[in-house]
Amino acid sequence: MTKLLASVQNLHEAETVFDNGADIIDVGGEAIGMAGSVESGPLPEIINFVAGRRPVCADASHLPMQPELAQRKVGEFVAAGVEYIRIGLRPSAELQAVIEITRTFASKVKLLAVMFAEEQSQYPQSFLDDLVEAGFHGVMIDTESTLGERLLNHMTPDQIGQFFKLVQSKGLLTGAAGSLEAPDIPRLLSYKPDFLGFCAALRTDLYWAAPIDAPAAAKIRGLIPRGVIRAAPTPTEHQETGLGTDKIFVRDFVLPVQIGAYSFEHGKTQKMRFDVTADVVRVARNAEQLRHVVSYDLIMDGIRAIIARGHVELSETLAEQIAAFILENPRVLRVVVRAEKLELGPGGVGVEIERRRGETGWGGFH
């Protein structure tokens, strides 16, 4: 289940996000004594307030890549009693030395490596394996800028999802941060991260330096389900609510696709048009909050993600994969997918399928 990591700067902010259901209290900047000692900042009083009821994380994601400094600060955080430490690891000549110097703490605290999207192509191929060998607990993808640079400006949801899958395949937990906003949450939850981190989205006017706003924190909490996501509502549950279903749709969504069974169709793209309609469980009489709706971004992200995986021989296969992706959302009960090739004649040719949750043969998206 995805956990909410909330970044705070002082005790009052920690109390606010705690009261609004944050799963992990992430303490960063001057609050953890980056420019001085840990004892002089509010980290100890935040730990005392939380008193073991939730994990506390020290955010050292912007610590300079200096092995001796990393050893000293991580040691201070461990002594203070945090459960997690987020360590920023940048591609540099000191990268391996910082990993090696922090491995001595892996048995005492959960180390989360922070990778930076702006520099993702510069990390060595062995990076994740090096983290596993050093005893790291997980890896996050974030942005290096502290001034509101959005992760989704650097990576698509599918690229982020592929990152999650790769990290989890190594036996590590994974997550994302980087000026994430409320509408990003359902898009990323589809890829099952272990945690999502928020700073500006919890604050007044989405400004990273503003104070944390309780309603904003509650809004983010409401979009990340607690506990185990239950299966889709059964017909009985559905009827008892009396609210029925709504439809979300995407029309005339045209993209270049690598598709076709003939040899001459391999290695090139052809235009396809997608029309998708999904029946979703209605959960509020008046949809006034994001948590009340299922966004059409789910459909567009799913189509883009599947197309990005490479060549598909049949339109039917593509339609089935799109339907399965959308039905992964627990509120979707039924989906209709039409996939048309547009370059084989004067009109469109293709397939339309209808799939329902729980019907025989439906195996989900993999």
- Which CATH number do you get for residue 265? 3.30.1130.10
pLDDT at residue 109, rounded to an integer = 97
pLDDT at residue 233, rounded to an integer = 41
Q: Confirm whether 93 is domain-assigned.
A: yes
The verdict on 56 and 125 lying in the same domain is: yes
Q: If you average pLDDT over every residue of the chain, what do you get?
A: 89
Q: Confirm whether 52 is domain-assigned.
A: yes
pLDDT at residue 228, rounded to an integer = 40
The verdict on 195 and 49 lying in the same domain is: yes
Q: Confirm whether 186 is domain-assigned.
A: yes
Q: Confirm whether 362 is domain-assigned.
A: no
pLDDT at residue 36, rounded to an integer = 54
Among residues 202, 223, 244, the one where a domain terminates is 223
The verdict on 189 and 277 lying in the same domain is: no
The verdict on 305 and 204 lying in the same domain is: no
Spatial separation of the C-alpha atoms in residues 131 and 269, rounded to whole Å: 38
Written as six digits, the tokens of 189 are: 């939850």
pLDDT at residue 40, rounded to an integer = 60
The verdict on 149 and 74 lying in the same domain is: yes
The verdict on 269 and 194 lying in the same domain is: no
The verdict on 104 and 241 lying in the same domain is: no
Q: Confirm whether 229 is domain-assigned.
A: no
Count of the separate structural domains present in the chain:
2
**In terms of residue numbers, what domain contains 292?**
235-356
pLDDT at residue 237, rounded to an integer = 40
Low-confidence ranges of the chain (pLDDT < 70): 29-37, 39-40, 146-148, 227-241, 360-366
Among residues 161, 189, 223, the one where a domain terminates is 223
Q: Confirm whether 228 is domain-assigned.
A: no
pLDDT at residue 206, rounded to an integer = 87
The verdict on 114 and 36 lying in the same domain is: yes
pLDDT at residue 234, rounded to an integer = 43
The verdict on 113 and 158 lying in the same domain is: yes
Q: Confirm whether 53 is domain-assigned.
A: yes
pLDDT at residue 227, rounded to an integer = 58
Q: Confirm whether 284 is domain-assigned.
A: yes
The CATH number of the domain holding residue 184 is 3.20.20.70
How many angstroms separate the most distant Cα atoms in the chain? 73
The verdict on 121 and 168 lying in the same domain is: yes
The verdict on 246 and 180 lying in the same domain is: no
Q: Which amino acid is at 266?
A: H
Among residues 194, 223, 252, the one where a domain terminates is 223
The verdict on 42 and 186 lying in the same domain is: yes
